[in-house]
């Protein structure tokens, strides 16, 4: 049996951080794209647009890369069957519970407070919204479980490519760029009739498969300690080089730069070619920064690690309730967004503190029962390392 992998404390922090970065992002996108009238003053803010663009460039890629790495780790440790049962409980239960409760509430609030109807999911009055990531993650786990683990045996070239060593790394970045073009081609396929959410869901599955696959490969190549704290002189210059064309092409930032929201065909293709190599490099930089900053257990970090999933699940309901009040404040858009994001974070934390008080709500929204009062409840789909 393989020796236990050392606990990388900064990866606990990374999983929490990557979800929590979504709170101000969703406050902005709800105001801009899913409200009537749209918050055009948010869209024209360099601060809001810059934050949304930069964090969105890598956040979910890094999240799924971590998920793939932990999937490989726990599958090997517990066996495929036990791992699938655990994933169903820790991810499936929160997904179903949140969809039937929070999703139903969000569907109603979308029209009542933001005055723009929400698309149905599976023909039902349920808003998938931010809950899509759980469905995608469950899908990735199912696909990975169907592949015999002994068939995944990365060689030295793959290891060197992922660690940005030698010409193999250029090949990896080129393959990621090619996968971006695959995404562009998928977007040209006619959508599922009367099912925009289902159409978006399979497109997201296709796109984020790259990050999950890299995470799985990192585990099977036994390079976790290296890649998640990677020292490479190419990371920062590579990020800077790719951000130069990426930022003026990103629809999240273009209005703040005085441009039309969507680029032309050449710009759209360039954006798709750039985004995955950029996401990979920015993810590596984020992991490295956290490896420097988080050296061991920390009470504040532990609190947010434990509560990240519940906080993330509840935050969008609070965003819908807070946004109309924040937008009515006689303040600049940047201040409205900051106040709204702070209020949403505090209210979502309060929701987490409530749901962790009973076994039923803990199981439904955290995927695990309530623990003793002297212990901290891990309200995140933890990998028991």
Residue pLDDT, tens place only, 50-90: 999 999 999 999 999 999 999 999 999 999 999 999 999 99
pLDDT level of residue 4 (50, 70, 90 thresholds): low
**pLDDT of 37 above 70:** yes
Average pLDDT over residues 215-226: 96
**Beta-carbon contacts of residue 257 (< 8 Å; ≥ 6 apart):** 46, 49, 248
Per residue in 322-337, pLDDT (tens digit) is 999 999 999 999 999 9
Q: Which residue has the tokens 């709800």?
A: 30
**Beta-carbon contacts of residue 78 (< 8 Å; ≥ 6 apart):** 86
Per residue in 251-276, pLDDT (tens digit) is 999 999 999 999 999 999 999 999 99
pLDDT level of residue 305 (50, 70, 90 thresholds): confident
In this predicted structure, what is the pLDDT of residue 306? 85
In this predicted structure, what is the pLDDT of residue 380? 44
Average pLDDT over residues 88-116: 95
Tell me how far apart the alpha carbons of residues 86 and 71 are, in angstroms, rounded to a whole number: 11
Average pLDDT over residues 279-308: 89
Residues in the chain: 385
pTM: 0.93
| Tokens read off for 82 | 């036990």
pLDDT level of residue 369 (50, 70, 90 thresholds): confident
Tell me how far apart the alpha carbons of residues 106 and 268 are, in angstroms, rounded to a whole number: 31
CB 177 within 8 A of CB 273: yes
How many other CB atoms are found less than 10 A from the CB of residue 376? 15
Burial label for 373, CB within 10 Å (0-12, 13-18, 19+), is exposed
- For residue 120, the 8-state DSSP code is P
| H helix intervals, the chain | 9-20, 22-33, 40-43, 46-78, 80-87, 93-98, 104-114, 132-145, 156-162, 168-188, 196-220, 224-227, 235-249, 265-293, 299-327, 333-355, 359-366
CB 281 within 8 A of CB 238: yes
In this predicted structure, what is the pLDDT of residue 142? 96
| Tokens read off for 233 | 């002189």
In this predicted structure, what is the pLDDT of residue 15? 86
| Tokens read off for 57 | 């460039």
pLDDT level of residue 375 (50, 70, 90 thresholds): very low
Using CA atoms, how far residue 231 sits from 163, 165, 207, 281, in Å, is 9, 11, 27, 12
**pLDDT of 122 above 60:** yes
CB 344 within 8 A of CB 23: yes
How many other CB atoms are found less than 10 A from the CB of residue 37? 9
In this predicted structure, what is the pLDDT of residue 381? 46
CA-based nearest residue to 125, from 144, 148, 149, 101? 101
Q: Residue 121 pairs with which residues in a beta bridge?
A: 124
Strand, helix or coil at 154?
A: coil
In this predicted structure, what is the pLDDT of residue 10? 87
């Amino acid at each position: 049996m393989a020796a236990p992998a050392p606990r990388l404390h900064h990866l606990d922090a990374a999983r929490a951080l990557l979800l929590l970065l979504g709170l101000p992002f969703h406050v902005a996108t709800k105001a801009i794209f899913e409200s009537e009238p749209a918050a055009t003053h948010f869209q024209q803010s360099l601060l809001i647009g810059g934050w949304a663009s930069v964090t969105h460039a890598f956040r979910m890629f890094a999240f799924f890369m971590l998920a793939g790495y932990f999937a490989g780790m726990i599958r090997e440790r517990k066996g495929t069957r036990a791992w699938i049962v655990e994933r169903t409980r820790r991810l499936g239960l929160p997904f179903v519970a949140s969809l039937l409760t929070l999703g139903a509430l969000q569907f109603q609030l979308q029209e009542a407070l933001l005055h723009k109807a929400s698309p149905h999911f599976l023909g039902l009055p349920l808003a998938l919204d931010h809950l899509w990531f759980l469905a995608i993650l469950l899908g990735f786990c199912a696909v990975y479980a169907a592949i015999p683990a002994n068939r995944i045996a990365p060689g030295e070239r793959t290891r060197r490519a992922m660690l940005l060593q030698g010409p193999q790394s250029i090949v990896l970045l080129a393959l990621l760029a090619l996968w971006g073009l695959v995404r562009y081609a998928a977007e040209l396929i006619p959508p599922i009739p009367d099912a925009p959410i289902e159409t978006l869901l399979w497109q997201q599955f296709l796109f984020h498969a790259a990050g999950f696959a890299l995470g799985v490969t990192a585990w099977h190549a036994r390079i976790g300690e290296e890649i998640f704290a990677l020292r490479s002189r190419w990371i920062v210059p590579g990020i800077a080089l790719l951000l130069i064309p990426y930022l003026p092409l990103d629809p999240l930032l273009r209005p703040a730069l005085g441009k039309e929201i969507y680029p032309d065909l050449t710009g759209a293709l360039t954006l798709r070619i750039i985004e995955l190599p950029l996401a990979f490099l920015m993810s590596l930089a984020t992991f490295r920064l956290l490896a420097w900053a988080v050296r061991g257990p920390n009470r504040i970090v532990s609190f947010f690690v434990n509560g990240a999933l519940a906080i993330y699940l509840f935050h969008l309901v609070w965003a819908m309730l807070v946004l109309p009040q924040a937008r009515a404040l006689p303040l600049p858009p940047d201040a409205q967004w900051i106040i709204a994001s702070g209020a949403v974070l505090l209210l979502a934390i309060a929701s987490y503190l409530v749901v962790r008080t009973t076994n039923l709500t803990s199981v439904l929204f955290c995927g695990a029962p309530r623990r003793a009062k002297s212990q901290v409840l891990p309200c995140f789909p933890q990998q028991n390392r």
